[in-house]
Amino acid sequence: MDLRINLPESEIPTAWYNVMPHLPSPVAPPLDPQTHEPVDPAALAAIFPESLIAQEMSDQPWIEIPQPVRDVYRLWRPTPLVRAKRLEEALGLKVKIYYKNESLSPAGSHKPNTAVPQAYYNKQAGLRRLATETGAGQWGTALSFASVQYNLDCTVYMVKVSFEQKPYRGMLIRSYGATIFPSPSDKTRSGRAALEKNPDHTGSLGLAISEAVEDAATHEDTNYALGSVLNHVLIHQSVTGLETKSQLVLAGEKADILVGCVGGGSNAAGLFAPFVPECLDGHGPQMLAIEPMACPTLTKGQFRYDYGDVAQLTPLIKMHTLGHSYTPPPIHAGGLRYHGNAPILCQMVDSGLVTPQAYYQKEVFEAAMLFLKTEGFLPAPETAHAIKGAIEAAKNAEPGQTVVFLYSGHGLLDLAAYDAYLSGKLTDYEYPDAEIAEALKSCPDI
């Protein structure tokens, strides 16, 4: 059998899989922070196109992928499912390890799987421009790529400290033709207010979200796009799980354990979702969601309504949360530093379908180095969490079992993090129990 299981283009899924109607209990609706009533879909129309709002609420198990989206997907999809044989040999276990390689997309991660349809639907709805925020830069890169495919302009508010620490990210986003502003910027009321209070403000994801949402809400021709958490994002990410299922059939394998890293939850849920029905039937794989010890949303958080952002601008979302006022320690997996998680994934955790696990960053980087030296490719620090989870799962598995993890992105623009690891400069952050307890008090009492 080949190490890389390639599918022909005809196997790019023709429909996304919506796991919501299959879950044992329904995903709780987002609530208006004032009234605590479910949010009126019409209220979302200022920043999202109707087609995506409909997907957000959909009870249909399959949602057709428009042909113009598949036309862009085929630039890199289907992605290969790869047997990590040299990693297996280094571990000396009789367990098979596969990874679904989403790092091969133009933007280098799984993010274009949703950026492309989001750009498409906005173009269809007559929009001229998209606004978004980006933290570490993966999502901003993906949306910039997707926007240029449909001749949309794209404005990216990038958290200022990341903008300065990761100059290559900003350059790549600009290369795709997008406009990028370090946030806080002087382009929005929220940005100006923050700068007035503190001209040296280094920014935060919450603030960048505020700027992007304000930009979209105040410009008729502009909508907002989000890279994780929301239901429609997770639906789009199901392409990875669907392809993986076909590839396992081709390889004559059955997955015993699925592994994904978790920040907002979209890459893990995309892999897991199509396996949920067989899990409910009792013969599906074990599903592991791997998060950082420094931001243990699923392992230490509470499953309750909370704001999606620090500034309390978003609707209330029922999810595992550490409290929206929680500021995770500065670990290098920037994409996993989120106080909450996608409602769909949280529902899977709450119902026992998905098991969360947390690891310290040094052991995660150690796993990344083993992967690099055996398989040759440099993973993103976020992805390295999935690698660590997969290695530990393999150690605990029975001989002959099969572990499949989602390789969410490459680490070529994260080399400073590896340098810090190699230079012995990484810190393992202890459970910030007291801080989390304090931050949880910031959740509204619902």
Q: Rule CB under 8 A: choose which of 158, 413, 436, 439 binds its own copies.
A: 413
Q: Which two tokens stand for residue 97?
A: 């390890």
Q: Is 423 exposed, middle or buried (0-12, 13-18, 19+ CB in 10 A)?
A: exposed
**Contact status, residue 129 vs residue 155, Cβ threshold 8 Å:** yes
**CB of residue 75 to its own copies, shortest distance in Å:** 5
Residues numbered 277-316 forming contacts with its own copies, rule: CB under 8 A: none
Question: Which residue, 177 or 444, is less far from its own copies as judged by CB?
Answer: 177
**CB of residue 120 to its own copies, shortest distance in Å:** 15
Pattern 331-370, binding to its own copies, x per CB under 8 A? --------------------------------------x-
Work out whether 3 is an interface residue with its own copies (CB under 8 A): yes
Work out whether 218 is an interface residue with its own copies (CB under 8 A): no
Q: Before 78, cis peptide (omega within 30)?
A: yes
Quote the CA–CA distance of 326 and 310 in Å, as a whole number: 8
- Stretches 6-14, 128-136, 257-265, 426-434: which one binds its own copies (CB under 8 A)? 6-14
**CB of residue 306 to its own copies, shortest distance in Å:** 36
Strand partners, 387: none
Q: Rule CB under 8 A: choose which of 412, 430, 438, 446 binds its own copies.
A: 412
Task: Name which of 126, 117, 355 is nearest 236 in CA terms.
Answer: 117
Task: Name which of 230, 27, 272, 271 is nearest 118 in CA terms.
Answer: 230
Q: Rule CB under 8 A: choose which of 122, 149, 247, 347 binds its own copies.
A: 149
Residues numbered 126-145 forming contacts with its own copies, rule: CB under 8 A: 145
Query: Residue 324 contacts by C-beta under 8 Å, 6 or more apart in sequence?
Result: 206, 306, 307, 308, 309, 310, 312, 339, 340, 439, 442, 443
Work out whether 98 is an interface residue with its own copies (CB under 8 A): no
**Contact status, residue 333 vs residue 292, Cβ threshold 8 Å:** yes
Tell me, by CB under 8 A, how many residues bind its own copies: 40
Strand partners, 222: 129
**CB of residue 372 to its own copies, shortest distance in Å:** 6
> Which residue ranges make up the site for its own copies (CB under 8 A)?
2-4, 6, 8-9, 74-76, 86, 104-108, 145, 148-149, 167-168, 171-172, 174-177, 369, 372-373, 375-378, 412-413, 415-416, 418-419, 422
